[in-house]
Amino acid sequence: MNKPLITLMTAAALSVAPFSGIAHQAKAAMVSSEQDPSRPTASTANQLKPAPIRALEANAEKALKALYDSSPSAAAMGKEAKAVLVFPDVKKMGFMAAVSFGEGVLFKDGHVANYYSTKSGSWGFQAGHQRFGYALFFMSDEAVNYLDHSRGWEIGAGPSVVVADRGIARKVSTTTVNHDVHAIIFNQRGLMAGVGVEGSKITLLKW
């Protein structure tokens, strides 16, 4: 049993039955784990993650905070959402065909739940390159379950999705949110005209 779980059990046991045998056993276990420096703690758990994962989490958190700061409506939507999937940096390039790729973090209740990739491809004259980010707000448990159990989800198939840029998102209120998923595009930069996420395939990353 790892230390965070032992600590949680200890707090519960001490608050409910401070003089019970369970409380004394839990307290002794907590003291023992604190004396053993080899046991991972909550503070060191994040440090044990590979550097690319830590960087991805930091970028996703920073991008989501910036989106919330610039759009109170997006922040309100985030409070109502069951989960938020953030792709902080998607790269798109092409000539006669265009491809895009990025990696993102799924947040549930403010905590990292999983990691996903986004990929897309399209034909037609689309010379140039572009970078942008986008966030998917899952407004229903059904939409979250679909994401959790699908091996690959293509935006536009499955749960209904409404796509908006950050400017339009300022006009969205929680009373107008009546779709399963809302996508907000942000930080658009580059030489290609227009940004779209329809047809992008969302796939679970297994790191």
Half-sphere exposure (CA, 13 Å, Cβ side) for 183? Answer: 22
What mean pLDDT, rounded, does the chain reach?
73
For the whole model, what pTM was predicted? 0.69
For the segment 48-76, what is each residue's pLDDT rounded down to a tens digit?
788 899 999 999 999 999 999 999 989 99
Strands (DSSP E) found in 52-180? 83-94, 97-108, 111-123, 128-138, 153-154, 161-165
| 199 or 2: which leads in pLDDT | 199
Spell out the residues 6+ positions from residue 159 whose beta carbon is closer than 8 angstroms to its own: 138, 140, 142, 143, 146, 179, 180, 181
| 16 or 204: which leads in pLDDT | 204
For the segment 129-155, what is each residue's pLDDT rounded down to a tens digit?
788 999 999 999 999 999 988 877 888
Which sequence spans correspond to the domains of the chain? 3-44, 50-204
pLDDT at residue 5 above 60?
no
The DSSP secondary-structure symbol of 40 reads -
For the segment 70-117, what is each residue's pLDDT rounded down to a tens digit?
999 899 999 999 999 999 999 987 666 678 899 999 999 999 999 999
The tokens describing 83, both together, are 């989960």
Give the total residue count for the chain.
207
Q: So what's the pLDDT on residue 11? A: 34
The tokens describing 201, both together, are 């395939």
What are the C-alpha distances in Å from 88 to residues 45, 59, 91, 158, 184? 23, 6, 10, 23, 11
For the segment 6-34, what is each residue's pLDDT rounded down to a tens digit?
333 333 333 434 434 434 444 444 444 44
Tell me what percent of the residues of the chain surpass a pLDDT of 70: 60
Q: So what's the pLDDT on residue 98? A: 73
Q: So what's the pLDDT on residue 94? A: 66
